[in-house]
Structure formats: structure tokens, C-alpha cells
């Protein structure tokens, strides 16, 4: 009992274990950041390689299109030449038949003349005429044979041209398909950046009920940014838009410059008429002025103007249809889309 009363209790020191845990967590965070930076580096290299391949494909398509036009022109000329040679061949064959008939008639006439008359001079004259006719027939036969050879050569050339034309069409179709695949990849990349962008906005703006995501759009209620009937951004609205501007600036640095994207800012109002005597004569003007004000604020924070667009829709695109006074209808929408 004396030993238990004299025993001292010393407090446990948790600080070394806490420092070890904190150091381990820091090392894990540094490792994850390194992996993220490497992934970004390799992704940029892959996108650059795809852009170069797309440029080469476009040049090949242009060259094949020019070759196809030349092949079509040559094909038309060959067809015209074939038609002319065919007409010449038909004319020569008709002339051959005529000369053969004339020779036969002359021969028959010569025989009849020999039997009917005793003069050998008339028979010689007829024979000379027949010989000349036969010689002309031989010449025409040679010409017809030469024309047929030319026609066969032209038909072979035309068949080769059609084969080359079919091959060019096949290459163009293949390149067109590859181009469509490359364009689809660009669209997929833009969709991925859009998803990342909206994810960052959710993290920055938190779970506020007056800021929400509707489909592929980020929606601010007008009361967050503007006073009623006004298009001047309130101080509280500028604080919300400053976080948005920082997110857009990060997006500009991350998306490759060859992807044609814009951030579209759409202004919407409810269906109540604007107050008479005010600065704006209609809801069209008020919604457009609010969209322009947001765009101008983002530009003042360093966002490139060619990456922004402003549009006013008035009261004609409501979220809650059938009601004249719905706060949800008075809004600013942000949409990351293609140019």
C-alpha cells in the first residue's frame, strides 16, 4: 500500500506523434501535387501532338481534293476524245462499205461490158477503177485499225483514271473520318474543362441557395449581383464575381489556345415591366446591360475579351413559367461553350 501511495503519474506527451502524422500528410500532399503537375505536362504534350496531326490531315485532304479535280477534268477530256474517235470510226466504216459496194458494182459492170463489147480498152479502164477502189479500202482498213488501237488505249487510260478516282475518294473518306474523330476529341476536351471549371466554382462559392447549377449553366440570382431595376454591380456582387474571375483566368491558362471556347454571360429578368422614367425602357435593355456589366467586370480583372460574350434575353426564357414575380427568373447565367 505504501508503494502505490508513493507512485507518481506522469502525463503522456502526444506532440511527437502529432508532428509525425502532420509530416506524413505533408509528404502525401506534395506527392499528389507532383503527380498532378506531371499529368498536366503529359496532357499538354499529347494535345500538341494531336493538333499537329490534325494540321497534316487538313493538308492531305486539300491535296487529294486538288488531285480529284484534275482527275475529273482529265476524265471529261478523255470521254470527249472517245466520242470523237467513235464518230470518226463509224464514218470510216460507212465509207468502207460504200467503196466495197462501188468496187463490186464496177466489177460486175466490167464483166458485163466484157461480155457485151469486144473492146479491151473499156475493160481495162473498169479494172483500173476497181483496183483504185480496193486500194482505198485497204487504206481505210488500216486507218480503222489504228483508230481502234487508239480507242483501246484511251479506254485503258480512262479505266486507270477511274481507279485512281475511286482510290482518292476512299482516302478522302478516311481522312474525313479521322478529322471527325479529331474534332470529337476537341469537343470532349472542352467538356472536360467545362466540368473542371464548374467544379471549381462550386468549391469557391460553396452551397449557397442563390447560386446553383442548372444543366450546363452556372446561375446567379440577380439579387446577388444587382439592386432591383439596376445594372450596376453591388459591392457584394463584386466579391462573388472576383472569385469567378480568378477561376476564368485559371481556365485560360489551362485550356490549349487552339480550342475555340467562350464564356457566355446571359441576362434574364422576370415579366414585370420596368419602372417608368427609369434608365432602361424594357426588360430587354435591362437584361442586356446586366450581362454587359458582368463581362466588363471580368475584363477589368484580366480576362481576355475574345473569351467572353454577353447576351440579353429579357423575360422570354423563364425558369418558372406562368408566374409574373419569380425570383428564380431574375438571374445571370454563365455557360462555357464553343465559339
Indicate whether 12 belongs to any domain. no
Asked if 101 and 47 sit in the same domain, the reply is: yes
**Within this chain, do residues 71 and 126 fall inside the same structural domain, yes or no?**
yes
DSSP 8-state symbol, 263: E
Residue 151 lies in a domain: yes
* 193 inside domain: no
The pair phi, psi for residue 163, each rounded to 5°, is: -65, -45
In-domain check, residue 18: no
DSSP state of 271: S
CB 333 within 8 A of CB 295: no
Ramachandran angles phi, psi of 229, nearest 5°: 75, 5
User: Do 252 and 174 fall within a single domain?
Assistant: no
128 in the same domain as 75: yes
Report if residue 197 sits inside a domain.
no
Q: Which of 133, 151, 186 is the last residue of a domain?
A: 186
User: What is the distance between the alpha carbons of residues 269 and 229, in angstroms, rounded to a whole number?
Assistant: 10
Are 171 and 279 contained in the same domain?
no
**Cα–Cα distance between 57 and 61 in angstroms, integer?**
6
**Are 212 and 262 in a shared domain?**
yes
Q: What domain range is 270 assigned to?
A: 207-338
Query: Among residues 186, 218, 233, which one ends one of the domains?
Result: 186
If asked whether residues 273 and 318 sit together in one domain, one would say yes
Cβ-count burial 75-85 (b if 16+ within 10 Å, e if not) = beebeeebeee
**What is this structure's pTM?**
0.47
- Residue 102: give its domain's CATH number: 1.10.287
**C-alpha cell of 128?**
483500173
Residue 103 counted as domain residue: yes
> Is 332:266 a contact under the CB 8 Å cutoff?
yes
Q: Could you tell me if 149 and 83 lie in one domain?
A: yes
Q: CA 37, CA 289: separation in Å to the nearest integer?
A: 40
Q: Are residues 84 and 177 in the same domain?
A: yes
Is residue 176 in a domain?
yes
**Does residue 331 share a domain with residue 297?**
yes
307 close to 252: Cβ distance less than 8 angstroms = yes
For residue 195, being part of any structural domain is answered with no
Based on the domain organization, do 149 and 261 belong to the same domain?
A: no
Residue 308: in which H helix or E strand, if any?
Answer: strand 308-312
Per-residue pLDDT of the chain (339 residues; tens, 9 = 90+): 444 455 555 666 777 777 888 888 888 888 888 888 887 777 777 767 676 777 777 777 777 777 777 777 777 777 777 777 777 777 777 877 777 777 677 666 656 555 555 558 655 666 777 777 777 777 777 877 787 787 778 877 777 777 777 777 777 777 677 666 666 665 566 666 667 766 666 665 555 666 787 777 889 899 899 998 899 999 999 988 998 898 889 888 888 888 888 999 999 998 888 876 678 999 999 999 999 999 999 999 999 999 999 999 999 999 887 665 677 889 999 998 888
Same domain, 152 and 214: no
Give me the CATH number covering residue 229: 3.30.1330.60
Given the C-alpha cell 479521322, which residue does it identify?
178
Per the structure, the count of domains in the chain is: 2
Amino acid at each position: 500500500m505504501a508503494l502505490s501511495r508513493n507512485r507518481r503519474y506522469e502525463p503522456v506527451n502526444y506532440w511527437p506523434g502529432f508532428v509525425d502524422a502532420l509530416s506524413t500528410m505533408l509528404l502525401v500532399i506534395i506527392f499528389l501535387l507532383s503527380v498532378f503537375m506531371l499529368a498536366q505536362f503529359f496532357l499538354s504534350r499529347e494535345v500538341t501532338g494531336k493538333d499537329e496531326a490534325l494540321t497534316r490531315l487538313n493538308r492531305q485532304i486539300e491535296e487529294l481534293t486538288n488531285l480529284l479535280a484534275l482527275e475529273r477534268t482529265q476524265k471529261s477530256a478523255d470521254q470527249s476524245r472517245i466520242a470523237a474517235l467513235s464518230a470518226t470510226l463509224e464514218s470510216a466504216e460507212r465509207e468502207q462499205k460504200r467503196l466495197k459496194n462501188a468496187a463490186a458494182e464496177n466489177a460486175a459492170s466490167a464483166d458485163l461490158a466484157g461480155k457485151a463489147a469486144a473492146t479491151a480498152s473499156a475493160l481495162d479502164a473498169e479494172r483500173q477503177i476497181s483496183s483504185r477502189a480496193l486500194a482505198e479500202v485497204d487504206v481505210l482498213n488500216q486507218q480503222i485499225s489504228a483508230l481502234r488501237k487508239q480507242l483501246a488505249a484511251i479506254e485503258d487510260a480512262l479505266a486507270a483514271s477511274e481507279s485512281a478516282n475511286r482510290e482518292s475518294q476512299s482516302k478522302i473518306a478516311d481522312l474525313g473520318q479521322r478529322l471527325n474523330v479529331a474534332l470529337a476529341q476537341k469537343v470532349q476536351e472542352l467538356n472536360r474543362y467545362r466540368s473542371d471549371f464548374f467544379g471549381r466554382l462550386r468549391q469557391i462559392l460553396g452551397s449557397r441557395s442563390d447560386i446553383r447549377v442548372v444543366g450546363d449553366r452556372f446561375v446567379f440570382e440577380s439579387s446577388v449581383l444587382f439592386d432591383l431595376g439596376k445594372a450596376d454591380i453591388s459591392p457584394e456582387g463584386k466579391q462573388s464575381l472576383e472569385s469567378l474571375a480568378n477561376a476564368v483566368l485559371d481556365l485560360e491558362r489551362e485550356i490549349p489556345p487552339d480550342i475555340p471556347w467562350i464564356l457566355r454571360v446571359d441576362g434574364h429578368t422576370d415579366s414585370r415591366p420596368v419602372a417608368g422614367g427609369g434608365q432602361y425602357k424594357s426588360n430587354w435593355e435591362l437584361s442586356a446591360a446586366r450581362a454587359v456589366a458582368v463581362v466588363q467586370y471580368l475584363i477589368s480583372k484580366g480576362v481576355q475579351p475574345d473569351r467572353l460574350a454577353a447576351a440579353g434575353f429579357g423575360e422570354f426564357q423563364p425558369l418558372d413559367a406562368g408566374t409574373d414575380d419569380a425570383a428564380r427568373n431574375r438571374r445571370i447565367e454563365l455557360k462555357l461553350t464553343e465559339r
